[in-house]
Each structure stands twice: as structure tokens, then as C-alpha cells.
Chains A and B, each alone.
Chain A
Amino acid sequence: MKFKNVAATGAVFVAAALALSACASSTTGSSTTASTASASATAAAVVSTPDASLTGTITAGGSSAQANAETAWTAAYTSQVKGVTVNYDKSQGSGGGVTNWLAGSYDFAGSDAPLTAAQQTSSQANCGTGGSLNLPVYLDGVALIYNLPGVTTLNLSTNTIANIFALKITTWNDPAIAADNPGVTLPTSAITTVTRSDGSGTTQNFANFLSATAPSIWTYPATNTWPIAGTSAQKGGAGVVQAVGAGAGTIGYADHSAIGTATAATVNKVAFSQAGATAAFAAGATTVPTTTGDLSQKFDYTKLTGPSIYPIPLLSYQIVCTTFKDPAQAALTKSYVGYVASTQGQQIAAKNAGSAQVPDSMLTQIQTSLATVK
């Protein structure tokens, strides 16, 4: 009866294969348009003109949050540099992207979190003593989407959000929610919080926000996996959006570029906008370098106040070596990442993937850091 054992083995294989293909996809924005680079190139403050004579293949992977933007960047970049192929594997997720990149399989990794100190150290094996650079190239916001029949606008303050997601506020007509929404008739139904069942940079960014702004209410660790049971946990941003759409009385969080037609609540009376996320970056992000030239960012959420600043930004990085083993790959990768970190590249992502633009001041710094890569 060995065939049964083999069936079991096969099941393990299948599980592994599915795990590999189980991307934490969270973006659904249109990305098919290979908008020609010249369309929006006017008035670009940070310009990076790729060398059209380059040839080769860039292999990369990681964060699924920036996958749609990568598709847009790749299409625009390869329309200018026809000899280059860019393969970005979003099925790996941030963790897998960094793992594969550390192993030397990728030219750059896409990650929703910068390298940890330990990862920075181990990257020196492949990247030389200079280590590696975290380059913040993708900016978006975490949207709070809800499904409450009869309630078309909903405003939530920071503390209320923390209470809801810590499962301390459990009904929609709670006084705290009512206080945030004067004049709105709230139902008496229970709140179902919808979270991610898979590890996700969206969760990481949202948890960062909660633990920084409401530490007395949100006492859980800020990690990439939702820390508390009792929520409706769904796979992928699309799963969260689907579950919120299907169940009345639900509220969940997702990348703003992925929410589709779902209704998003305003946070401290600020609705998400691409400009709002960019303003948040400009106002609250500070560089915390892990090595020379590194641009790891840390948000000071207390500074993200005001009517034009969206309080829950989402940031994702491209991570590259300071010294590539192969100079040709270094030139290719610098060319591509440089294009991504140009005003034009950011505009293309904003248009085709719905993300926000990283401010030009940061783009300039990225270009400066990138210039040291060899």
C-alpha cells in the first residue's frame, strides 16, 4: 500500500507548492497600461534616464504590496530599455524576498519592512562590508473599510480605532464611536473586525500605527501577523475586502490601492488621498540608517496630524547590496531602481497602481545612495 504513503508525500509537495504560490496579494489596481514614459515626464524634479543600451535580466521578488507598482515600473522601464527583462516574483512575500535575496538569488528584494540588524549583518556575506541599502520607493496608505448599511460616512479617532481592533469596543452604537460621528445614527449590531490571516506588511504598518498612537489601548506587539484571536481573519487584502463586502457590521484594514469600491472610514476626519500619504511621509518619516547610505524610515506618528495628512501610511522598500558580486548586474539594478526612484517612476506607479508618490526630497537621497552602489 505504498501508494498511500506516496499520496501523503504528494500532499506535502502540493502543500509546499501552494505555499510558494500563495501570495499575499493585496493590490488589485489596474497595472496593464504600459504608459509610455514620455507621457508624464514633464516637470520631473528627480530625473533618472536609463541607459537604453543595457541588456540583461534583473531577478527580484518579495512584497506583494508593491507588486502592481513593480508591474507598472517594469512595463515603463522596459519600453525604454528594450534589452532588459525584469522578473519580480510577488509570490514570495516580504519574508521570502529577503530570504532569497540574502541567499544571493535576487538582485534586489521588495520588502515592507527594512532589514533587521541581524539581517543587515548577514547581508555582508553577499554585499561586502558595506552591507545593504533599504530604499523606500513605494508609498501607500492603510485604509479602514467598513460595511454598515445606512451609514455612508464614518469617522474614527485613533483611540476608537485601537479600541475596535483590540476588541474592546464591540458594538457599533458604542458611545466612543457616536462621539466621533455626531448626527449619525449608528446600528446596535456587533462589530466584526476583519484582519489578515496571512503575514503581511499591511498588518505591520497598521500595527505600527496602533502601538505608536494608542499604546495604552493597543498593548500587543507590532508585528506582521495579527496578534489577537477573535477577529475574522482572511487571506490577503482581497480576502479582507471580500469579507467586509459580504458581512454587515464589519470593519477591516487593507492597502488603499486594493479596496476597490469598498467604503473607507476617515481617520481623525482625514480621508485617504495620494497627496495625504505623501504629506504624511514628508511630515513624519525620519531616516534611521542601519549602515552608511541606508534609508530605513521610521514614522513619528504623533506628527501625522492635520487636515491634509493621512495618519496611517504604508511604506515598502527595495533592498540592494552596496557592492554587487557582478558589476554588470549592479549597473542593471542601479538603472532600474534609479528609474523607480525618479519622479517619473513614482508618477507611473501612482497612475497605474494607485500608490502615493514618495516626496522628491527622499527620491534625491535615494539617487545619492544608489550612486554609491557598485
Chain B
Amino acid sequence: MQSAPTSSSGSSAKTTGNTPLGGGGSKDSAATKRSTRVRPGDFIFKGLSTGSAVLIMVILAGVALFLIISAIPAITADWSTNDQLNTGPTAAFPNFWAYVGPLIWGTLWSAAIALLFGAPIGIGIALFISHYAPRRLASILGYLVDLLAAVPSIVFGLWGIIVIRPFLLPLSDWLSANLGWIPLFGGAVTTTGSTILAGALVLAVMILPIITSISREIFLQTPRLHEEAALALGATRWEMIRLSVFPYAKSGIVSATLLGLGRALGETMAIALIISPAILVSVRLITEGQNSQTIAANIALNFPIATTLQRDALIGTGLMLFVISLLVNSIARFIVSGGSGKRKKSKGNGKPSMPGPLSQVPTGDAATVLAMDAVGRSGRAGVVDTEGHISEDDIEGAGK
């Protein structure tokens, strides 16, 4: 496309046609064929979009570079003898890894609990909106869930402190009294409610919008034919969802969940406000003094007081968070692209594969036939009534 400016004058492009560009490669000639006139708008728009794409890469690289350069002095320092690092927030840690290790655990742990609560509910809401709710209710509900994403996290934090913490106190007491022998519920039970459980529940609410909206989009993309085929063969609503929607949306659900995980990993303010943190590795959910701190909250809490090298140490923990987030996103991408074998199709179009669910563009007839086959094989096509008539084999068959 770099040869385009030479033909920028409209008349030359018109008269000489494609010939000057003939040797420039098939792409160029194809482009010229499509529009023989090159307008200024093309250049400007192409420049803007290319510039934006480049800018993103530059910003990403810039952030990574900033994190690495800032973190190196703290990572390489000897924490026990350095007079900036053996005091304040970084005291009592022999080196950077001893400091960041518990923080990484806390980050993953709180996000995992949040996901445990948030993902099923988010997917449930999405399913309700896409397949159960009346159209009017669905659009209102969808709007409300999206609205949830617009609530600032500090508001969630205050809500957590004032509402969720006291609300969970009776549950904490009960869990401690009756299930205290399980390590999760061990330790001295909380009196103010400032637990990782409360924090993770608020976090779960915060990741609902992202999981719900992405899952909803995928559920809505389930080919109509699959659903109608399942229904026509006598599946109930739930069986239809199990047979046609879930298999179709499987990888999309995974990517929605992992995007939610990404959100949970980086959440800062709500966690910093709600949880009573300590830098240690703990699985306890309802204690006050043994909640593992997360990286983001730790940075927010200690950055203002930190001296130069302590700031570098905090930035180093931020680098670790950056790496974790990249890993999570890479895993999500791997699952989405590798899991279904449909990658070839999108590559064949010569376009960069679209993110998430959109790379799972309906495969059309083949899949429909597969699903119909699967249901048909059960030989109960005429049976209309209850659930449970479709055996496990059928479900697996449809899932292939």
C-alpha cells in the first residue's frame, strides 16, 4: 500500500489503471481494483487507524518498560541491609520475592473467590436475559447490568464497608461456630466484618457486568436452527440450552470468565477499603488478621507513604500484576482460539481473528447437522414431555 501516494492524483490513476502497480504484489493491485480513485479521506483514515494501532503498542511497551526500569533497583537490592527498604511497609522482608509472593497469592486468592461467586451468577443472568426473560424485561435487565459497570469502585468499597460487612457478620459467626474445623473458616472470627469474604463478594458484584454482557452476546449468537432443532425434537427449554447453547458458547463463557478474572485481579479501591489485609499466605475467609493482601490494594495503601526505593518496590509488585494479567489473558486467548478448532476458518479469511466470541462465528450447516444427528440418534424424536429423556451420551455428542 506504500505505493499509493504515487498515484494520488486522480487522473493518473484513472488513465493508467492498474498497470504501474502490477509488479507491486497482488494485494496492491487488488486494492486498486476495488477503488480506482484514491481520495484524501482514505489516507487520513488509514493513517489515523494505523496510528491508533501503533500507539497502543507503544503505550503497552512504554508501560512495560516503565515498570521494569523502575522495579529493577528494588528487585536487586538487599532488603535486609538497605536503610530505605528495612523500614516502613517493606520492613521484615529479606528480599523482593519474599514481599511479592504473599501478595501474588492474595491477588489470585481473592480473585478466585470472586470468580466462584460471580461467574455462575453472571452466566445465569446472561442466560435469563437471552433465553428466558420477555423481550422488554430482557432489555431493561441488560441495561441495568451494564449500568452496574458504571458504578465507581470507591462506591462499591463504601457499600462494602457500610452494608456488606455487617450483613455478613452473622454468617461468619455461624461458619466459625459450626464449620470452624475447616481451614477456610478457621482462625479468630471477625468482629467488624473486614474479611476477604466480604471483599470477594463485592468483587463478585463488580465483575458481574463484564461476564454477563459478554456471555449474553454469545448466547444470543447461538444459531437459531440449533435451538429450533433441539426444541422440535422434544427438548425442554433447559435441555435445549444444554444441548445447543452451552456447547456453542463454551469457549466464549471461558473468555468472559477470564476477562472477569482480569478485572478482579486489578481491582484496587474496593479491596483496599473493605479487607483488613496482612502480607501473608492464608486461605482463611472470615478472620480479621489473616487476610492475604492483594497487589493492587497494597500499592494504593502504601504508595503515599513510600520513599523512593519503597516506591520502586511497589512498582515491582505492579510489574508482577502486569505479568499475571498478561498470563491470564494469554490463557483466555489460548482457550478461545485453540479449544474449538475453528481457528482455521477465521485465519482463512485473511483477517486478524476477532476477539472472544466473535471468532466463533456460526459454522452453519455442518454444526446444525451434527446437533440434529445427536438428538436424532436418541430415537426419541417424538417424545415431547419431561426432562431427563436425553441421556448423557447425547449431550456429549452435541458438544463435539
Are B263 and A199 in contact (CB-based, < 8 A)?
Answer: no
Taking beta carbons and an 8 Å cutoff, which residues of B are in contact with A? 56, 59-60, 63, 67, 83-84, 87-89, 91-92, 153, 161-162, 165-166, 188, 190-194, 259, 262-263, 265-266, 268-269, 272-273, 276-280, 288-290, 296, 299-308, 310-311, 314, 318, 321-322, 325-326, 328-329, 332-333, 336, 353, 355-356
Are A15 and B318 in contact (CB-based, < 8 A)?
Answer: yes
Are B272 and A15 in contact (CB-based, < 8 A)?
Answer: no
Are A225 and B88 in contact (CB-based, < 8 A)?
Answer: yes
A232-B268 CB under 8 A given contacts A9-B60, A19-B303, A22-B303: no
Are B259 and A7 in contact (CB-based, < 8 A)?
Answer: yes
Are A96 and B192 in contact (CB-based, < 8 A)?
Answer: no
Instruction: Give, as a whole number of angstroms, the nearest-CB distance from B45 to chain A.
Output: 20
Are A231 and B289 in contact (CB-based, < 8 A)?
Answer: yes
Are B278 and A250 in contact (CB-based, < 8 A)?
Answer: no
Taking beta carbons and an 8 Å cutoff, which residues of A are in contact with B? 1-9, 11-16, 18-20, 22-24, 64, 91-96, 98-99, 116, 118, 190, 192, 194, 197-200, 221, 223-225, 227, 229-235, 239, 242-244, 246-250
Q: Closest residue to B57 on the A side, CB-wise?
A: A2
Are A197 and B192 in contact (CB-based, < 8 A)?
Answer: no
Are B310 and A95 in contact (CB-based, < 8 A)?
Answer: yes
Contact among A8, A64, A232 for B329, CB-based, below 8 A: A8
Q: Top 10 closest A-B pairs, CB basis?
A: A93-B304, A199-B305, A11-B266, A247-B192, A230-B289, A8-B325, A229-B278, A198-B301, A247-B191, A19-B303
Q: Give Cα distance in the complex from A207 to B178, angstroms.
A: 38
Q: Closest residue to B318 on the A side, CB-wise?
A: A12
Are B279 and A229 in contact (CB-based, < 8 A)?
Answer: yes
Contact among A1, A22, A221, A242 for B161, CB-based, below 8 A: A242
Which residues on A sit within 8 Å (CB–CB) of B194?
232-234, 243
Q: Closest residue to B67 on the A side, CB-wise?
A: A12
Contact among A5, A14, A199, A243 for B301, CB-based, below 8 A: A199
Instruction: Give, as a whole number of angstroms, the nearest-CB distance from A112 to chain B.
Output: 9
Are A118 and B83 in contact (CB-based, < 8 A)?
Answer: yes
Instruction: Give, as a whole number of angstroms, the nearest-CB distance from A317 to chain B.
Output: 15
Which residues on A sit within 8 Å (CB–CB) of B59?
6, 9
Instruction: Give, as a whole number of angstroms, the nearest-CB distance from B100 to chain A.
Output: 15
Q: Closest residue to B327 on the A side, CB-wise?
A: A8
Taking A11-B296, A15-B299 as known contacts, 19 extra A-B pairs with beta carbons closer than 8 A to each other, sorted by chain A number, are A3-B355, A5-B60, A8-B262, A11-B263, A11-B321, A12-B318, A18-B268, A20-B303, A95-B306, A96-B305, A199-B88, A199-B304, A229-B278, A229-B289, A231-B276, A232-B192, A235-B273, A247-B192, A248-B191
Q: Closest residue to A248 on the B side, CB-wise?
A: B191
Which residues on B sit within 8 Å (CB–CB) of A116?
83
Q: Closest residue to B295 on the A side, CB-wise?
A: A15
Instruction: Give, as a whole number of angstroms, the nearest-CB distance from B104 to chain A.
Output: 15
Instruction: Give, as a whole number of angstroms, the nearest-CB distance from A281 to chain B.
Output: 23
Q: Give Cα distance in the complex from A249 to B169, angstroms.
A: 14
Are A12 and B188 in contact (CB-based, < 8 A)?
Answer: no
Q: Give Cα distance in the complex from A8 to B164, angstroms.
A: 28
Are B268 and A4 in contact (CB-based, < 8 A)?
Answer: no
Are A229 and B290 in contact (CB-based, < 8 A)?
Answer: yes
Q: Give Cα distance in the complex from A291 to B200, angstroms.
A: 50
Which residues on B sit within 8 Å (CB–CB) of A19?
268, 299-300, 303-304, 314
Contact among B56, B276, B296, B336 for A234, CB-based, below 8 A: B276
Q: Closest residue to A194 on the B side, CB-wise?
A: B192
Q: Give Cα distance in the complex from A248 to B193, angstroms.
A: 11
Are B303 and A4 in contact (CB-based, < 8 A)?
Answer: no
Which residues on B sit within 8 Å (CB–CB) of A96?
303-306
Which residues on A sit within 8 Å (CB–CB) of B299?
15-16, 19
A to B CB contacts below 8 Å, 7 in the list: A8-B262, A12-B266, A19-B299, A95-B304, A198-B304, A243-B276, A247-B192
Contact among B166, B266, B329, B336 for A15, CB-based, below 8 A: B266
Instruction: Give, as a whole number of angstroms, the nearest-CB distance from B141 to chain A.
Output: 24
Q: Give Cα distance in the complex from A224 to B87, angstroms.
A: 8
Q: Give Cα distance in the complex from A59 to B165, angstroms.
A: 39
Q: Closest residue to A122 on the B side, CB-wise?
A: B308
Are A246 and B192 in contact (CB-based, < 8 A)?
Answer: yes
A225-B302 CB under 8 A given contacts A4-B332, A5-B329, A230-B290: yes
Are A11 and B265 in contact (CB-based, < 8 A)?
Answer: yes
Q: Give Cα distance in the complex from A239 to B138, angstroms.
A: 39
Q: Give Cα distance in the complex from A17 to B81, angstroms.
A: 31
Instruction: Give, as a whole number of angstroms, the nearest-CB distance from B122 to chain A.
Output: 17
